[in-house]
Structure formats: C-alpha cells, structure tokens
Amino acid sequence: MEDQTISQGVDLYRRGIILGAVSSIGYSAANVFLRAVDDCDPVWVSCVKAVPTILIVFPWLVWHYQKNERKICPPRIVVGLVLLSMTSHFLGNVGFQWSLNKIGISLAVPICLGVLIVTGALVDWWFLKDTPSRRTILSMFILITAVVVLSTGGKQAFAQLKQTLENPDANPYLLVFAVGAVIVSGVNYGFFGAVIKVVGNRGVSQPAIMTIISITGFLFLLVISASNGSWEVPRNLAADNLLQMILAGVCNAIAFVALVSAIKILSVTRYNLVNASQAALGAITGAVIFQEPVSGWMVGGIILTIIGLMVMKRNK
C-alpha cells in the first residue's frame, strides 16, 4: 500500500513537471510573436493576446459548471482575482511588452525569470510556509547576481539594439526604465503564481480562476486601449500584426492552462524552476530569429542563471 502511494506521488510529480515544461514552451513561443509586434501599442497587444484564453476557458467553465459542480465562487475571492488580474495584466503583461522594444527578448526574459524565481521562493517562504533550504537560499543569491550581470550587460546590448529597433530617439534612460519594467513584471508574476495556488487550494476550480482573470484583464485593457487611441494607429490594426498577436494569445492560453494545472501539483518555487528554461529559450530565439546582439555579460548572466537553477534542484 505504501509503495502504491509513493508511486502515485511520483506520477503526480512527473505530471506537474510535464505541465510546467509545456507552460515554459508556450510562454517562450508567445514571446517570439510578441517580439514581432513590439512596435505596436503594448496595451493593445496585451488586450488582443487575452482573447484566445477567453475563447478556451469560458466554454470550459460552462462545461465544468454543468457536469461537475454548481458551486459559485465566493464574492471576496472574485474581487481579489479581479484586482489581481488588472494588476497582473498592466504591470506584468503591458510592462513586459513595452520593454521588448527597448532591450529585446534575449535580455528581457532572463531578467524577468530571475526576479520571478526569487520572488516566488520568498512568497513560498513568507505566505505558504514552505521554508527554503540552504540550497535554495544559495540559489537565490546566485540568481540575484545573474540579474545584476544581465542588467550590466544591457548597456552594450542597448547601444546596438537602438540601431535596429526603429527607435532612433532612444536614450540611455530608456534602458533603466525598461529593465525596471521587466523587474516589476517578474515580481508581479512571482506573486501571481502564489495567489493562484492559494485560491486553488480553497476549492475554486481552474476554469473559474482563469475565466475571471482573462475576462477582467481583457476588458480592463480594452478600456485603456480605447482611451489612448490605439485603434486610430494603422499598424495596431494591420492584418499581419493582428495575426501575430492572436498567435501569441494562443500560445499564452496553452501556457496559462498548463500553469494553473501545474501550480496545483507543484510548489510555486518548483514550478518556477521548470519555467526558468525560458531564459535560455529567450536568449536563443532573440539571437537567432531577431538577430539581437549577444554580449559577454549576457552570456555570463545566463550561465549564472543556469547554475542557480541547478543549485536549487530537487534533492530526492
């Protein structure tokens, strides 16, 4: 009986790892499409990107409500998810999208992931009572160092990027703001995963969580887009750009479903470790697909990120 329980636990853990890997690949693919439309309004891009998620999760919610349960999500949790959605979509998605035009995908993704991992581990520790081991603490210090190294290397990359990102008026202060936006985005995503785990542990279904977050985010960004005149800019409504935004949304929807499923199985820290493969994928796609410059600092920062993740690996 004990062996069977252990076997079921191992199978569940493997399922969580696979879901985490799917989420990482999905978000990495979405980042490629988002980078392709980095000259469009970031609020509008993030708004359109939310549409495929709604088209997937709302029918899932209706089916789940009819077949499995008729339990209504408590109003207090709904309000919390609405606030989380607006914050996450603006500080996380819009901030990250805006930064892509300034520092590129190969720099934005590793910085975001490094901050996300540290934030997630701290949230695990403070709020979810998952005390980190010495190995985890050492990993945090290495990842923080990686973020500093990557940010330092950004000056060289920025000098080259502003020649190719159709941003001739760029100035060095944009680098500071862009890196700051990515850091805020990483902190936001770190708290985002923890809140989803807490809400899920309180019995709220996955489709309910995702429906509330995706619909609220879409409506919130739609109002902002309407107020800032996004629809009056031709490139924001160009067919090829809209296609790229939709494709980003499809990849994001797949990744989001995998995230919510994985986070119910794994700890926030463990999920973030699996998801951290985005750092390497982001650097590779940035250099290969978009010809972004690769500096020694950037390579060193990515290597430190990988070392930090290896240090935090599962003991048993």
Output the pLDDT for position 156: 58
CA dist., res. 116 & res. 189, Å (int) = 6
| CB of 175 closer than 8 Å to CB of 154 | yes
pTM: 0.80
Is pLDDT above 50 for 239? yes
Per the prediction, the chain carries an average pLDDT of: 79
127 contacts: CB under 8 Å, gap ≥ 6: 194, 198
* 3-class DSSP state of 290: coil
Q: In percent, how much of the chain has pLDDT > 70? A: 79
The pLDDT of residue 6:
54
**pLDDT score for 7:** 54
Q: What is the pLDDT of residues 41-84, one digit of tens each?
A: 999 999 999 999 999 888 888 887 777 655 677 888 889 899 98
Q: Return the ∠ at Cα 152 (arms to 149 and 158), rounded to 5°.
A: 130
Specify the pLDDT at position 217. 92
Six token digits for residue 116: 């996300």
Mark 147-158 as b/e (b = at least 16 C-beta within 10 Å): bebbbebbeebb
Higher pLDDT, residue 285 or 231: 231
What is the C-alpha separation between 271 and 19, in angstroms, rounded? 9
pLDDT bin (cut points 50, 70, 90) of residue 165 is very low
103 in Cβ contact with 35 (< 8 Å): no
Range of weakest confidence among 38-47, 49-58, 193-202, 242-251:
193-202
Give 289-316 pLDDT, tens digit per residue.
Answer: 777 666 777 778 778 877 876 776 554 4
DSSP, residue by residue, 188-214: HHHHHHHHHHHHHHTT--HHHHHHHHH
Return the structure tokens found at 300: 């060193």
Dihedral sign computed on CA atoms, order 20, 22, 24, 26:
negative
CA distance 206 to 288: 36
Start-to-end CA distance of the chain, whole Å, equals: 21
Res. 166: pLDDT tops 70: no
Q: Rounded to a whole number, what is the largest CA-CA distance in the chain?
A: 68
132-140 long-range contacts, CB within 8 A, separation 24+: 132/269, 133/315, 135/311, 135/312, 135/315, 136/269, 136/312, 138/311, 139/308, 139/309, 139/311, 139/312, 140/308
Q: What is the pLDDT of residues 81-110, one digit of tens each?
A: 999 899 989 989 999 999 887 777 877 887
